Amino acid sequence: MHYATAQMIVEVLKRCGGDDLSRENLLRQATNIQGLQLPLFLPGVKINISPTSRIAWRQASMARFDGSKWVLFGDILAFPAGN
């Protein structure tokens, strides 16, 4: 999870541009992210953050251990805002 957090920080800094790293701009960029697919996330699990909903992702996938590896099953689950 730490690597995904680092990827998010890099994304926010890129969105700030090269010359405006003010607190206000950092917060604006960090709270306005829609549909961001991080490289380590499963395809379809995306980051969505807004000023009123700061939980970064509300999607997950189920997996079961088959004795040697984790195997994904089912569709990506989406959890509604507010839960």
Which residue has better confidence, 47 or 80?
Answer: 47
Q: What is the mean pLDDT of residues 63-82?
A: 83
pLDDT confidence of residue 61 = 80
Closest CA to 72 of 59, 82, 81, 63: 63
Position 1 scores a pLDDT of 61
What number is the average pLDDT over the span 70-77? 85
**Closest of 56, 59, 58, 57 to residue 76, by C-alpha:** 59
**DSSP letter string over 27-61?**
HHHHT-EEEE--TTSPTT--EEEBTTB--S--EEE
Tell me the pLDDT tens digit for each residue of 8-55. Answer: 999 999 999 988 999 999 999 999 999 999 988 888 788 889 998 777
Distance from chain centroid for Cα 74: 20
